[in-house]
Structure 1
Amino acid sequence: MHYQSITALAEDIKTRKISPVEVTEHMLSRIETLDPKLGAYVTVTAERAMDQARQAEAEIMAGKYRGPLHGVPMNYKDILYTDFAKTTGGTRIHKDFQPDFTATVIRRLEAAGSITLGKVKTTEQAYANHHPDVTPPLNPWSAGHWAGSSSSGTGVSVAAGMTFASLGSDTGGSIRFPSAVNGVTGLKPTWGRTSRYGAFELAASLDHIGPLARSAADAGIVLQAMAGADINDPTTLTAPVPDYAAEAGQSIAGLRIGIDRAYISEGVDPANVAAVEAAAEVLQSLGAVLVDVSVKHWKEAAISWLPLCAPETAAAHDAFYPRLKSDYGSTLAALIDMAESYSTRDVARAHQDRLIFSGHLEAMFRQVDLLLIPATIWRVPALANWADYAEGDNSEFIRFTGPYDMSGSPSITMPGGFDQDGLPLAVQLVAPHLGEGALVRAGSAFQKLTDWHQKIPPLSA
């Protein structure tokens, strides 16, 4: 049951083959069994979940079915405010913070009938490393390998079948990295497609909130329920929210998919390149048209990510830093301190690089509908090597993620195979702004011909 798709589970709930109470009891039991080892959850809201499940069951029995998330258990990254549980942001400074309201995206998902299992771990304030007070979650495929930053608990809990879907955030890759290394599907929406009201900031103009799930179709269902304009977040887009779920199962014949073979291969692990080339063949067999393109100015955009992220992070911490510097982990503190090393000219040049890359990308999307790229340059890093990635210049590390946060472009990251060590590989599709429907359509088509997303990690329960 715990690895069932949302679509299949929703049908079973709607037709009363199974009740939300049974599903929720099963998931809470699985969390109780697995999470002491994996450590994905910060808080399990068991009593509230059971109350919600009983309410959902009563509504469905009365013929008041709300839709495909009604009675479906989910969890949320612990940067999202909840008035029913603490929101720590993975920090010491907020370890006792109890918000008096709930983030818009959670309110909308609960209004759609979803059941909240709890809050899951994040790296400190959604940056690279966990605070020293926090024990990082374990990758369910291999405890000796990275579980992703920053939505670590999100990726682990979905991969381990301890939730049917979850919400993460992405500023430089934090939906895509956990999706890639845990073998799940992550959908980063267009910047502004989902509300950031009630979310701790890392860097406001780069932060995106989106779903991680077991499939593109499931991610589309979740995104549809949470997306749209929010009066409390004036940066949200007012464009109507399409029926993303309806895109699943639609043909991709004639869809133009761009591929830049130099960009996807130079300095990239051959296993990742092979996964992308294999994905291109699958998409082509479904009727998509592959088009050679050139992704321009990506290197400059990747380098300029840090001169924008660091000052925005520093601004978000003005009330606490440096006054409470001793309560910060060294990695986040270094990022905030780094802000002082950038001149106003550095920031101006970074902003120009952002605009130039975005302009080149917009021009490219006049030739193609989607762009196919890897999610990472490397295979899943061993924990012993993670420090080499987390410190200092990370422009190569974020080659396939950071530039698309700079441009605010939507993307979907999906399982694309396994390496020789049995660890997940991933591929990524990028779309023009508000192209989430095409991502769900292409992702669902890809996942109908492949079964990588159905593979499950070697857990004892």
Structure 2
Amino acid sequence: MDKSDLPFLSASELSRRIASREVSPVEATEAYLDRIDSLDFKFNAYLTVTREMAMEAAREAEREIAAGRHRGPMHGVPVAVKDQFHSAGVRTTGGSRILADFVPDEDATVIANLKQAGAVLLGKTNLTEFAITGFSHRFSTPRNPWDMNAYAGGSSSGSGAATGAYLCATSLGEDTGGSIRFPATWCGLVGLRPTWGLVSRYGVMRGVWSMDTVGPISRTVEDAAITLNAIAGHDPKDGHTSTAPLPDYRAALGGGIEGLRIGVVTEQMESELVEADVRRVVGQAIGVLGELGATVEEVSLPLSALAGAVSGTLLAVEPANNHAGWVRESLSDYGHDDRILLLTGSVMPANYYYKAQKLRELIRRQVLDALGNYDALVFPTSGKTAQPVEDDPPVTSKATSSRLPFLFTRLFNLASCPAMSVPCGFDDNGMPVGLQIGGRPFSEETLFRIAHAYEQGTDWHTRRPRAVE
């Protein structure tokens, strides 16, 4: 195989070829770095490329594999990580000019775990400022591989763009209100928000303490499975991580879904915020799940309609508290959307926050009650496909105060449940649509099983945007 074709292999297939020594980690890393050099000026996916570190890690992986010390599926696989995670000796900006020169002296646990698994770190990916808004970037805005004039989604925009443009084999994002699944759905990728507590957040810049979660953005379900296995598990540095034994998520693939019960959340599917062609595509995807043997039924979650407002309150108040010192002293250093969000969160009355927390608990109970009857809940990840890049708009009314009313990811964040977005087709303009699958806490194996069965029953994951050729 020509070296320039290696980036078009899935991470899992590349992993198998590296393990069999058919492909060298050095070759694979060089191929990705060559693509980054020649193409990333268009996509703006990376903020920092760690070329020398990557090549040294690739050479070390090659030596270890040649000596019979293969560490596992991620050994020698080139990856990218969101610049929200501390990286020893490598600048970590959080997407903000406030930290443009910040260089941590310790890796976040997820980066340390990737290195322990033998993965090759290509660099740090772009994101919205401090990962607390959906569109506003302080550096160049990442572009969507399916339409260079459209957003890649946020806040893990660079990870979505890099993975979708074949500038890494797989990547990590962080999801507080949907920031893994959002770029995944808009870029035609698989994105998993794991259960809160499954993956360490040590060394991760905070958004909302009780909702921040690190997970994979990948091109296939199997790629997401091997990426999650590399980063998940208990971490003594994060006392809120689970101590339960970690399953082999790749082993959950291929079991089929006959006999599983899947609930279609009516309020999300029928929302006026879902465009007609998105509803049609997601409806067809749900039909495929039935054809594959699952029992599919409608289920009503009336409080799900409030998830956006409740999440929005938490996403204003808690970041404002985290950034209180900088807000007082350096407000003008923030970008447009962050200034509005942080000022709003700074003056929001305590009773609003208290009410949001009460509503969150009611929503969580409603979700978990439904999941007592169903193995998974499904509905669109987003009611719209990728929108055109624009200047940050002024807020002139209540209607313009949120730029993401059509994003349906918040329900599972509020319930602390895992959720995955998988590509399920295209809208009338040829832009990707995502099917969202959510489950009970720590039911990632079930989500992988459903997503993989759907993926293998369709061909959406094989489609490639023209801009990446």
TM-score when scaled to structure 2?
A: 0.95
- 1:446 equivalent to 2:454? Answer yes
Aligned-partner Cα distance in 1 for 2:92–2:223: 26
> After superposition, where does 1:184-333 map in structure 2 within 5 Å?
184-267=189-272, 268-333=274-339
Aligned-partner Cα distance in 1 for 2:234–2:147: 40
Q: Which runs of 5+ in 2 are unaligned?
A: 1-5
Q: Please point out which of 433, 438, 444 is paired with 2:441.
A: 433
Aligned-partner Cα distance in 1 for 2:465–2:344: 38
Aligned-partner Cα distance in 2 for 1:290–1:284: 6
Answer yes or no: is the 8 Å Cα contact 1:112–1:225 preserved in 2: yes
CA separation of 1:220 and 1:132: change in aligned 2, threshold 3 A = closer
Answer yes or no: is the 8 Å Cα contact 1:79–1:126 preserved in 2: yes
Quote how far apart the aligned CAs of 1:131 are. Answer: 5.7
Give CA deviations for 1:394-450 in whole Å, capped at 9, x if unaligned.
67333x112221111111101111112111111110111011111111111111011
> After superposition, where does 1:335-354 map in structure 2 within 5 Å?
335-354=341-360
Aligned-partner Cα distance in 1 for 2:393–2:171: 27
Q: Give the structure 2 partner of residue 5 of structure 1.
A: 10
Q: Which amino acid in 2 is paired with 1:445?
A: A
Q: Give the structure 1 partner of residue 67 of structure 2.
A: 62
Answer yes or no: is the 8 Å Cα contact 2:18–2:25 preserved in 1: yes
Aligned-partner Cα distance in 1 for 2:394–2:258: 43
Quote how far apart the aligned CAs of 1:240 are. Answer: 1.9
Say how many residue pairs are matched: 460
Quote how far apart the aligned CAs of 1:214 are. Answer: 0.5
Q: Which runs of 5+ in 1 are unaligned?
A: none
Quote how far apart the aligned CAs of 1:236 are. Answer: 1.5
- 1:401 equivalent to 2:409? Answer yes
Q: Which amino acid in 2 is paired with 1:277?
A: G
Q: Give the structure 2 partner of residue 102 of structure 1.
A: 107
Q: Which amino acid in 2 is paired with 1:128?
A: T
SS of the residue 1:428 aligns to? strand
Aligned-partner Cα distance in 1 for 2:19–2:353: 52
Quote how far apart the aligned CAs of 1:393 are. Answer: 3.6
Answer yes or no: is the 8 Å Cα contact 1:90–1:130 preserved in 2: no
> After superposition, where does 1:367-406 map in structure 2 within 5 Å?
367-384=373-390, 387=393, 392-393=401-402, 396-398=405-407, 400-406=408-414
TM-score when scaled to structure 1?
A: 0.96
Moved more, 225-234 or 298-307: 298-307
Give CA deviations for 1:238-271 in whole Å, capped at 9, x if unaligned.
2221110101111211111111334312211111
Q: Please point out which of 116, 130, 150 is paired with 1:111.
A: 116
Aligned-partner Cα distance in 1 for 2:387–2:135: 16
Aligned-partner Cα distance in 2 for 1:206–1:379: 25
Answer yes or no: is the 8 Å Cα contact 1:146–1:386 preserved in 2: no
Give CA deviations for 1:39-84 in whole Å, capped at 9, x if unaligned.
1111111111111111111111111011110110001000000013
Aligned-partner Cα distance in 2 for 1:385–1:371: 35
Aligned-partner Cα distance in 2 for 1:343–1:238: 37
SS of the residue 1:74 aligns to? strand
Aligned-partner Cα distance in 2 for 1:311–1:229: 29
> After superposition, where does 1:159-174 map in structure 2 within 5 Å?
159-174=164-179
Quote how far apart the aligned CAs of 1:306 are. Answer: 2.0
- 1:124 equivalent to 2:142? Answer no
Aligned-partner Cα distance in 1 for 2:66–2:413: 43
Answer yes or no: is the 8 Å Cα contact 1:92–1:327 preserved in 2: yes
CA separation of 1:391 and 1:32: change in aligned 2, threshold 3 A = farther
Q: Give the structure 2 partner of residue 45 of structure 1.
A: 50
SS of the residue 2:151 aligns to? coil
Q: Which amino acid in 1 is paired with 2:35?
A: R
